[in-house]
Structure 1
Amino acid sequence: MSDPDNEAGSEWKELRADETAEGKRLDQWLAALLAPEFSRSRVQAIIREGAVSLDGRAVSEPKRKVSAGECYRIMLPEPEAPEPEGEAIPLSILYEDDALIVIDKPAGLVVHPGPGNWTGTLVNALIHHCGATLSGIGGVRRPGIVHRLDRDTSGVMVVAKADHAHRVLADAFADHGQDGDLERAYVALVWGVPPRSSGSVVAPLGRSTSDRTLRAVVPAGRADARHAVTRYAVLERYGPGRPEEQIASLVECRLETGRTHQIRVHMAHIGHPLVGDPAYGRAFRTKVNRLPPQLAAKVAAFPRQALHARLLAFRHPETGEMMRFEAPIPHDMTELLEGFAGL
């Protein structure tokens, strides 16, 4: 229930204790009911602040024993985002020193905590692996993060372990490699074959008007429009016949800018969305009907967009040495490519 006189962002809630609550500590009982938004320590603080009442009187002792039938009234503040903790999540480490760590991120791993993904992220894994050595410039929930990959995109990422390295790497990514000190290459399996073997997509990106979690090509004059350039080259073509009749192709994409979902949106914009892309490739789902049954089943079961960050090259922030890292295409995507190669 809400209270019109309540402070902004807070909510009154009434909770009645049943037989299972008999004899439990008040903080323990409330924390179980309010998890995961409120931890036990947070509930204890709320109680001590006088925000919990019984029969109109504030209860300020977290250890108080609960009796069945009691009805507590609690004023809940906006839940605080939890600080991430280290978790023993395996990492595929390509390189590590005192300044940075380079990993091959698997598909399905979220980079940093956020709504719906407060645990099980790359940040949780890094905290466990690196301890206190991670750079803090990115903030509590993004320590060391200077760039990111979508949850369902696999491939090479670099993370800063020292603050100076973080600043230098962040500047390089913000510059999008215009000085030649940053190189990023992805491979993507897309529907159809682009009409030219290589080309560039130059189209500004902004928020989609139909879904604010997605991006779209927008007019350059729109307030949120961001300059975006993707260079592509066709590596393989799949299916018989002329290029315009072939069913799919493997393309390499190189970024001149680094916008959210850039490759996915740009390839869809030129009529060649990524195979398996649930957000930008929905209009091409019927393409599966043109595939042999075994391959069609593989495509239908593929749980993500077929996109892999194959290459990342950058200048080491401490030594100045150019470093180059490559990650092989993961098994799930390799199997998919083998299926298309058999067309």
Structure 2
Amino acid sequence: METREYTVEAEEAGMRIDAFLAGRCSPELSRARIQSLIRAGDVTVGGVDTAAAKRRVKEGEAVALRVPAPAEPEPEPEDIPLTIVFEDADLVVVDKPAGLVVHPGPGNWSGTLVNALLHYCGEELSGINGVKRPGIVHRLDKDTSGLLVIAKTDMAHRSLAEQFAAHGSDGRMVRSYRAIVWGTPVPAVGRIETMLGRSSSDRLKRDVVAATQPDARQAITDYRILAGAGRAAGAEASLVECRLATGRTHQIRVHMAHIGHPLIGDVVYASGFASKAKALEEPARTTVEAFRRQALHAAELGFVHPVTGDAKRFSSDLPTDMRELAAALGIALSGNQQP
């Protein structure tokens, strides 16, 4: 709720209050919108509410206008194709393509996974996260592809949320990702353990920070090289498996950049490696420069079914764009992309 305060000038004296405010707020707020705010009790004169749009203002009067924050629209069902990996009465597992936003938000009020799920599942989604995130237990970045589980019932949502919170420490949850990174990590198998928090230079980024930073959270990523380093025109790249022991925002992207091997295509955390792409020979250069997302795929997802207690495990092959990227960089997959 924003409060705006105005003082009536001599030339404005005698105007209807709705006309006075419309003049002060034009073109942002229309006169009709001002009148609705007056009727709602969001306009005061000298600290006293007024509900009469025809009231005349006097010189020197203090007029305050309360403007509620814009109401966020509720997501609508949209017929967006989904790749369903598994489904029963309690949950559904989907293979999300790169470019699909998980839930609505500023700039993405439509065309999201939630819009697609509302069309596909109707009202069969957990309501724990509210109308804007029905059934959503976890998420992937817009440009990360791969496996997601969505809860249809509140009971399933609570059970899955507990498993995600444990990050596999109790043996129930398994999550692994495939990433194509610049260079060859050393050692070939390792653990990255840092504190992550908001970047001091960009509020949309995460960074390795000191433990004393107020929002610092422990982050642990285990990685191993799956395919021996490829070499295309002098630039090395590797296919790496990453397993999460914690689940922080952008964790894999930040951690791999932190050890000097950022994800190819990551414009946020690998911007310093643009020269590597430009140094490649064709056709590798064209392929890498045309790759418009971080090379990250959620390839494996395992959990205990909330109702049956069965251990469920699902896998997703590397998508076509990452296969083509690997081939262009000389990475021989040889089945290593499989979970």
Q: CA separation in 2, counterparts of 1:15 and 1:128?
A: 39
Taking a change above 3 Å as real, the CA distance of residues 44 and 253 of structure 1, as seen in their structure-2 partners, is farther
Q: CA separation in 1, counterparts of 2:150 and 2:35?
A: 36
Taking a change above 3 Å as real, the CA distance of residues 107 and 222 of structure 1, as seen in their structure-2 partners, is same
Say whether the 8 Å CA contact 2:190–2:222 is kept in structure 1. yes
Q: CA separation in 2, counterparts of 1:317 and 1:212?
A: 36
Give the one of 311, 326, 332 matched to 2:321: 332
Give the one of 103, 110, 123 matched to 2:114: 123
Equivalent residue number for residue 93 of structure 2? 102
Say whether the 8 Å CA contact 1:50–1:58 is kept in structure 2. no
Q: CA separation in 1, counterparts of 2:4 and 2:172?
A: 56
1:113 is aligned with what amino acid? Answer: P
Taking a change above 3 Å as real, the CA distance of residues 57 and 15 of structure 1, as seen in their structure-2 partners, is farther
Q: Identity of aligned pairs, percent?
A: 54
Q: C-alpha deviations, 1:223-267, integer Å up to 9, x for none?
A: 2111111000101211179xxx75111101011111100000000
1:4 is aligned with what amino acid? Answer: E
Equivalent residue number for residue 268 of structure 1? 257
Q: Which runs of 5+ in 2 are unaligned?
A: 8-20, 44-49, 55-64, 333-339
- TM-score, length basis structure 1: 0.80
Q: Which runs of 5+ in 1 are unaligned?
A: 17-25, 31-42, 61-73
Equivalent residue number for residue 136 of structure 1? 127
Give the one of 138, 162, 168 matched to 2:153: 162
Taking a change above 3 Å as real, the CA distance of residues 274 and 254 of structure 1, as seen in their structure-2 partners, is same
* Structure 1 vs Structure 2 CA RMSD: 3.0
| Segments ≥4 residues shifted beyond 2 Å | 11-16, 43-52, 56-60, 74-77
Equivalent residue number for residue 280 of structure 2? 291
Say whether the 8 Å CA contact 2:183–2:237 is kept in structure 1. yes
Q: CA separation in 2, counterparts of 1:44 and 1:93?
A: 49
1:325 is aligned with what amino acid? Answer: F
Q: C-alpha deviations, 1:192-236, integer Å up to 9, x for none?
A: 001211101011111111111110011123221111110001012
Taking a change above 3 Å as real, the CA distance of residues 45 and 119 of structure 1, as seen in their structure-2 partners, is farther
Taking a change above 3 Å as real, the CA distance of residues 339 and 77 of structure 1, as seen in their structure-2 partners, is same
| Alignment of 1:256 onto 2:257 | no
Equivalent residue number for residue 64 of structure 1? none
2:263 is aligned with what amino acid? Answer: L
Say whether the 8 Å CA contact 1:197–1:233 is kept in structure 2. yes
Equivalent residue number for residue 309 of structure 2? 320
Alignment of 1:138-153 (within 5 A): 138-153=129-144
Alignment of 1:219-258 (within 5 A): 219-236=210-227, 237-239=229-231, 247-258=236-247
Equivalent residue number for residue 206 of structure 2? 215
Alignment of 1:293-308 (within 5 A): 293-308=282-297
Q: CA separation in 2, counterparts of 1:48 and 1:100?
A: 45
Secondary structure at the residue paired with 1:341? Answer: coil
Q: CA separation in 1, counterparts of 2:154 and 2:4?
A: 45
Q: CA separation in 1, counterparts of 2:303 and 2:232?
A: 39
Secondary structure at the residue paired with 2:278? Answer: helix
Equivalent residue number for residue 270 of structure 2? 281
1:233 is aligned with what amino acid? Answer: R
Q: C-alpha deviations, 1:29-77, integer Å up to 9, x for none?
A: x7xxxxxxxxxxxx9965863779xxx99669xxxxxxxxxxxxx9743
Q: C-alpha deviations, 1:74-133, integer Å up to 9, x for none?
A: 974310111111111111100011110000001011111111111111111111111111
Say whether the 8 Å CA contact 1:145–1:159 is kept in structure 2. yes
Say whether the 8 Å CA contact 1:51–1:58 is kept in structure 2. no
- TM-score, length basis structure 2: 0.81
Which stretch of the first structure deviates more once superposed, 279-288 or 292-301? Answer: 292-301
1:276 is aligned with what amino acid? Answer: G
Say whether the 8 Å CA contact 2:232–2:281 is kept in structure 1. no
